[in-house]
Amino acid sequence: MKTKKSYLLLAATLTFFAALNSVFATTSVPPTLIAQSFSANPEATTLDEMKKVTFSVRLKTSWPWDRQILEVKPKPTMDPLILRAKNAGAEKIELTVETPSSYPAGLAKPKVRFENNEITLSIENWDILINKEAQVSSRIKNTLDNTYSPWINFPNAVQPLVIYRAEYNLAKILKNSKIDEILTLEKWMTRLLDEAVKPAGAEATFALRVDYSYDLIQGPDELETQLPVLLIPSAKMTSLTAAAIATQMENWFRTNSPSKENGAFVIDLNVFITSPTENPYTPIFDTDTLSLELPNIKF
């Protein structure tokens, strides 16, 4: 009788551990999201480089890499990136990133760094006007039985805001433009708006201020003065926008007859987008010293 009880106890114990092992084998613990952020390029020399930032997300997981795959969506509308362990059994784990066929054109291949179970995933060439905000969600796939943890995501989206305060020569930073190129004001404004506003879509708005800048004194003790030319507090991009702006600038020039030799139009441009998660008009791009020198303008 004693032997029978022992046998029944052993069978119950084995059944318990088998069930427990099954729970651990099929239950994936979701990753922990730490931070998501954007960083601008401090060495940008063109408008295209100014618009492209690096998106990064930090997350942590303790699930064994020999039986897991991590899926990460940089934003809800994107298909997930797949992170796998290259050498899960080794002391130092390396991760690889697979991108879906729908991965947006123009984005750089994601880079991943893994240290102390913390993952840093970064994506360069994130065009703020096209890709806009990010809101990471992630889950873990258990490769033993193909089950998934729940999706977890940051409660709020992160919105890029790029601000440049250095002076940039418009003829240098625009695509297909040359420093000694001479164009009409309408063509210069068309190039600027086509590159800095139009990619954000029909719902984007912009604010524009133009001043006339003139060097009263040149050299080490340079003295500069600025006169207001026009101010547009808010406008949407249309096929007639560039022409309307150019007309106002030309009228000001003819009325005031400023010096061409040391003069320039200085443009302050702010771009706003309609965000589904933030304020109705969210600033995304701000630069206040785009210089268009008068010798580059055909009046």
**Cβ contact 190:170 at 8 Å:** no
Cα 204 to Cα 84, 116, 174, 193, 234: the distances in Å are 38, 42, 20, 11, 10
Which region among 60-64, 70-74, 129-133 has the lowest average model confidence (pLDDT)? 60-64
pTM of the model: 0.82
Residue 162: what pLDDT? 93
- Mean per-residue pLDDT for 157-179? 93
- Mean per-residue pLDDT for 246-272? 93
Which region among 108-117, 186-195, 218-227, 253-262 has the lowest average model confidence (pLDDT)? 218-227
> Is the model more confident about 192 or about 29?
192
Which region among 7-11, 136-140, 248-252 has the lowest average model confidence (pLDDT)? 7-11
Interval 65-122: pLDDT, tens: 778 899 999 999 999 999 998 765 556 778 899 999 999 999 999 999 988 779 999 9
**Structural domains for the chain:** 30-153 (2.60.40.10), 162-296 (no CATH)
d(CA 226, CA 214) in angstroms, rounded, equals 6
d(CA 212, CA 217) in angstroms, rounded, equals 15
